[in-house]
Amino acid sequence: MTDPNTVQLTEDGRLKHFLTTEGLSRELLTEILDTADSFISTQERAVKTVPLLRGKTVVNLFFENSTRTRSTFELAAKRLSADILNLDIARSATSKGETLMDTLWNLEAMYSDMFVVRHSDSGAAHFIAEQVTPNVAIINAGDGRHAHPTQAMLDMLTIRRHKGDIEGKIVAIVGDILHSRVARSQIHALRTLGAAEVRVIGPGTLLPSDIESMGAVPYYDMKAGLADCDVVIMLRLQKERMQNALLPSEGEFFKLYGLTEEKLAFAKPDAIVMHPGPINRGVEIESAVADGNQSVILNQVSYGIAVRMAVMAMAMSGQQTPVNSEEPA
Amino acid sequence: MNLPDIEHITQDLAEQVSELISERQLDNPLLVGIRTGGVWVAERLNDTLKCADDVATLDISFYRDDFTRHGLHPKVQGSELPDSIEDRHIILIDDVIMSGRTIRAAMNELFDYGRPASITLICLLDIGRRELPIQPDLCGATLALNDGQLVKLTGPRPLVLTLA
């Protein structure tokens, strides 16, 4: 497969698709966060829409189930004034035997401007980005175990807004790292944005063997792993991905790695607790922590809309050929 | 071409705005500067006007009508307006008016924050070439530039005008 950055960036280094956080520059990631910050201010107004993508058609192309991600993409598109079409592919033409490319060509024939793609195959969004006609932007909303870049960026925005900066922070990601596209995208973004240390905590069977080459430090014990952490990111135990016996039981997992108030006390007293959702209460996180005052889980959802607005606006903008840089007054 | 003394016309403009506010009885006006130059000019005018509220800022990047041609401005800083502009008298301030498209975008954005009682437009410089029927209520100076010439304001203190 070609280098994702030759696919997702324009010749002058602007975003035209958003496929992965891997290999993107610190400047570009910061630009995404800055743009999202300005969209947060528009979300707090009585009128939440801005006219940026008026007349554009965005298609939510979800080959895998999702409620939160799909609905925040839908809201983001609507708040940019785009028209949005939700396609539940799992229950539509593909299940009648239409191939992926036939589905795409049909949607292109409807003059779509952007596809938001979730697929269970790693690399699906990348493949589609290489196949679509020019001027159609692809946003990866999660592909297999590979990447979930908008989730990672909304997590970066959450850390930046609650801890001031990502630079110098110690961040622990806890749970099923092996099956987590979120963790992969987070690790790349955290390393690029200057986190002092990225730790992954979990049982050996749920940590990928190449984790250290990604720049993360593995821990098998919560006490050691959470010590001095500024940010604790809990991952959902992905029951639907766990076909093999990688864990003795959910109860055992909660005992060792479930985030309780006692375990959270190992981290810094002002550490924030994050979770991409949906949370399994009593499996990876106890209610007292999920609903406690260190939890920023619901803030993450709000920031998710702003980050998705930013990425959609930037990618749509990257699809345009700049006329000239001078701005008429 | 001789460019006007910006410091001097800014001071004159402040006095004219002050008179206009009393003449039109604009009670408790809110100064709104358009990023970036308009904010500098608004701050400078407020040295004289001393309005009750701080100068508000408007970033029109999300409202430009040329987004599909120019793309998103790389440094969007966002707008900073009070919680409500409902029924307020807005003094909208920009550094240079040309096509009028920036002002149209600014007014569209203002209305997404609420329904102001009135909007008065103040521009430091008018360089003509209008493409929309929008005229400032007051402007500091009018410049006739050659084809292709533009002016650029740098600031905030001092304000300096150069040809671009």
| Domain locations in chain B as residue ranges | 6-163
Top-ranked range on mean pLDDT: pick from A91-95, A317-321, B4-8, B132-136: B132-136
Looking at the complex, report in whole angstroms how far the Cα of residue A128 sits from the nearest Cα belonging to chain B.
23
Residue B107 to residues B69, B90, B148, B160, Cα–Cα distance (Å) = 21, 10, 27, 27
The reply to whether A149-302 shares the fold of A4-147+303-318 is yes
Looking at the complex, report in whole angstroms how far the Cα of residue B71 sits from the nearest Cα belonging to chain A.
4
Q: Is the pLDDT of residue A313 over 70?
A: yes
Residue A328 has a pLDDT of: 57
Instruction: Beginning with the edge strand found earlier in the chain, give each strand of the sheet holding A197-201 in spatial order.
Output: A217-219, A197-201, A170-174, A231-234, A272-274
Set of chain B residues whose Cβ sits within 8 Å of the Cβ of A34: 75-77
Give residue-wise pLDDT tens across range B6-53: 989 999 999 999 999 999 999 999 999 999 999 999 999 999 999 999
In CATH terms, is domain A4-147+303-318 a member of 3.40.605.10? Answer: no
Report the relative pairing of strands A197-201 and A217-219 from DSSP bridges: parallel
Architecture of domain A149-302: 3-Layer(aba) Sandwich (3.40)
Residue A323 has a pLDDT of: 60
Query: Is there a contact between A328 and B94 if contact means CB atoms under 8 Å apart?
Result: no
Set of chain A residues whose Cβ sits within 8 Å of the Cβ of B131: 328
Residue A24 has a pLDDT of: 96
Which CATH code, of 3.40.190.10, 3.10.105.10, 3.40.50.2020, 3.30.2350.10, is assigned to B6-163? 3.40.50.2020
Query: What average pLDDT does the segment A167-184 reach?
Result: 95
Exposed / middle / buried, residue A77 (Cβ in 10 Å: 0-12, 13-18, 19+): buried
| Domain locations in chain A as residue ranges | 4-147+303-318, 149-302
Candidates A25, A52, A316, A325: best to mutate against B (most CBs of B within 10 A) is A52
Report the distance separating Cα A302 and Cα A306, nearest Å: 7
Residue A145 has a pLDDT of: 92
With CA atoms as reference, the chain A residue closest to B78 would be: A38
Exposed / middle / buried, residue B96 (Cβ in 10 Å: 0-12, 13-18, 19+): buried
Candidates B64, B65, B70: best to mutate against A (most CBs of A within 10 A) is B70
Query: What average pLDDT does the segment B90-106 reach?
Result: 96
- Which of B72, B75, B98 lies nearest to residue A329, judging by beta carbons? B98
Give residue-wise pLDDT tens across range B40-83: 999 999 999 999 999 999 999 899 887 766 767 767 778 889 88
Q: Is the pLDDT of residue A91 over 70?
A: no
Cβ distance B110 to B116 under 8 Å? yes
Interface confidence, given as ipTM, is 0.75
